Structure 1
């Protein structure tokens, strides 16, 4: 039986990829230092989260061994005598009964169960979350996304991954507050490894000498590139948006063809949205201060920075989009297109060959 098992459940867009990349990069060294990442690869934790959460559309695409991922991770943890870590942000919006069952499974595999939530200020999360949705095939313009999030329309999926008090409440059921950890993502401008160090302190892990340089390419998109991808998505018929196509877009098309096709220009949270984001964030901070969870970092770091001037993807011009699209066509070895509509159609048709 493990001494402690840490279940890192999210939130999305809170440095999870950065942390997971480092944990898996240093997996062998971490094992020598007493921390086990059960499973053979990072995807095992994603598959386990999909099974626990009941992501039917994803589970149907998994191989038999992947569908058994959660049970295998629990069994490996049970056979380990040190600490263990399971990590995937899709755990965060699991149904209550699924979360309870997962915690019970882990309680049978370790002497102590700990839950870890990482959280970032909403002012930075919102642009990042929209971009991630677009990479997954979303067609919704940035301005519409912000409006639906603000109103909580249609059981807004965004809040199921970002309502920090609710996620903590879901995953803390039956656990002592001291075993429920919130790691606050440092503000912009903080040392790059600060989140890594904060999380390591929760795990009781000595990370001295471990390289924190990124090994995976940064495929974050500027506003022109992100808007170009959104418009390409509009040309892909919804019935043909398959999990395989999404994997191709995220894993190949974005990093190899799209990223860098236009000047890198980050986009902002429009000033008109700042007031409600600030109000919501202040309510979260007040809730956290009223709890006895273990918080690493200052809760006030979850408050958004003051509004800053800048453009959004909705401001991208057709000329800018066409110029970027032509770079993409060239990288894909496809003929040039004289119009934006023509370029969008050609790129969308090329993507559909990889379904």
Structure 2
């Protein structure tokens, strides 16, 4: 039986990929230092999260062994005498009953169950979350996404992943307060490894001598590239957006064809949205100050920075988009198009020819 098991449940866009890259990169060294990442590979944790929270569309695409991922992670944890870590941001929006069942499973595998939530200020999360949705196939323009989030419209997938207080509430039910940990993502300009060090402190882990250099390329897109991808998404019929196509776009098309096709101009949260973002952030910080959670970092770092001037993806011009699209087409071996409309059609058709199908699951 494990001594302690830590379940890192997100939130999304809070440095989770950075942390997971390092945890898996140093998996053997961490095991020698007493921390086990159960399972055979990083995807096992994703599959486990999909099973726990009931991501039906994803579970249907998993191989039979992957559908047993959660139970295998629990078994591996139970057989380990030290500490264990399970991590995937898709755990964060699990229904309350699914979270309770998962915590009960872990309670049978370790003497202590701990939940870890990483959180980043909302002003930085919003642009990043929109970009991630676009990589998954979303068509919604940036301005409309922000308006929808502000009004609380639709299924509000955003808030299911980003309502930090609600995520902590679901995943800490029945746990002593000190075993629910909130790690605050440091502000822009902080040392690159600060989040790694803060999270390691929660895990009680000595990370002396472990390299924190990124092994994966930064696939963050500038505003022109992100808007170009959104417009390409509009050319892909929803029934033909298969899981294979989404994986190809995220894993190959973005880093190899799209990234670097235009200057990497970061985009901002428009000034008109800073009021409500600030109010919501202040309310969150007040709630967290009154809680019994173990907080690592300064809660004031969850407050958004002052507005800064700049453009958004909605400001990208057709000329800028066509120039970037021609770079993408050259990389794909396609004939150069004379107009933006023709370029979008050609790139969309190429993606469908490679990975589209007449029937599939839409990734929105």
Q: The TM-score by the shorter chain falls in which range? A: over 0.9
Aligned to 1:4: 4
| Superposition TM-score, scaled by structure 2 size | 0.97
Hey, what's the Cα distance between the residues in 2 that align with 1:152 and 1:242? 28
Hey, what's the Cα distance between the residues in 1 that align with 2:156 and 2:72? 33
Question: Once the 2 structures are TM-superposed, how far is the Cα of residue 353 of structure 1 from its aligned partner?
Answer: 1.9
Hey, what's the Cα distance between the residues in 2 that align with 1:345 and 1:217? 28
Hey, what's the Cα distance between the residues in 2 that align with 1:177 and 1:354? 50
Hey, what's the Cα distance between the residues in 2 that align with 1:185 and 1:202? 13
| Deviation per residue, 1:247-293 (Å, 9 max, x gap) | 00000000000000001100000000000000000000000000010
Aligned to 1:301: 301
Question: Once the 2 structures are TM-superposed, how far is the Cα of residue 68 of structure 1 from its aligned partner?
Answer: 0.5
| Deviation per residue, 1:132-170 (Å, 9 max, x gap) | 000000000000000000001013110000000000000
Aligned to 1:49: 49
The number of aligned residues is: 355
Aligned to 2:14: 14
Aligned to 1:175: 175
Aligned to 1:40: 40
Secondary structure, aligned partner of 2:182? strand
Hey, what's the Cα distance between the residues in 2 that align with 1:226 and 1:325? 11
Q: Say if 2:72 is the partner of 1:72.
A: yes
Secondary structure, aligned partner of 2:165? helix
Hey, what's the Cα distance between the residues in 2 that align with 1:249 and 1:266? 20
Hey, what's the Cα distance between the residues in 1 that align with 2:12 and 2:339? 36
Aligned to 2:358: none
The runs of 5 or more residues in structure 1 that have no matched partner are none
Hey, what's the Cα distance between the residues in 2 that align with 1:294 and 1:157? 26
| Superposition TM-score, scaled by structure 1 size | 1.00
Hey, what's the Cα distance between the residues in 2 that align with 1:314 and 1:155? 23
Within-5 A mapping of 1:216-235: 216-235=216-235
Aligned to 1:353: 353
Contact 1:248 1:354 in 2 (8 A): no
Secondary structure, aligned partner of 1:214? coil
Aligned to 1:81: 81
Aligned to 1:325: 325
Within-5 A mapping of 1:146-295: 146-295=146-295
The runs of 5 or more residues in structure 2 that have no matched partner are 356-364
| Deviation per residue, 1:174-198 (Å, 9 max, x gap) | 0000100000000000000000000
Hey, what's the Cα distance between the residues in 2 that align with 1:50 and 1:133? 18
Hey, what's the Cα distance between the residues in 1 that align with 2:352 and 2:115? 40
Aligned to 1:117: 117
Hey, what's the Cα distance between the residues in 1 that align with 2:212 and 2:73? 26
Contact 1:52 1:70 in 2 (8 A): yes
Question: Once the 2 structures are TM-superposed, how far is the Cα of residue 111 of structure 1 from its aligned partner?
Answer: 0.2
Aligned-residue Cα RMSD (Å) equals 0.4
Contact 1:36 1:84 in 2 (8 A): yes
Aligned to 1:335: 335
Secondary structure, aligned partner of 1:160? helix
Aligned to 1:103: 103
| Deviation per residue, 1:113-142 (Å, 9 max, x gap) | 000000000000000000000000000000
Question: Once the 2 structures are TM-superposed, how far is the Cα of residue 354 of structure 1 from its aligned partner?
Answer: 2.4
Hey, what's the Cα distance between the residues in 2 that align with 1:154 and 1:315? 25
Question: Once the 2 structures are TM-superposed, how far is the Cα of residue 67 of structure 1 from its aligned partner?
Answer: 0.4
Aligned to 1:126: 126
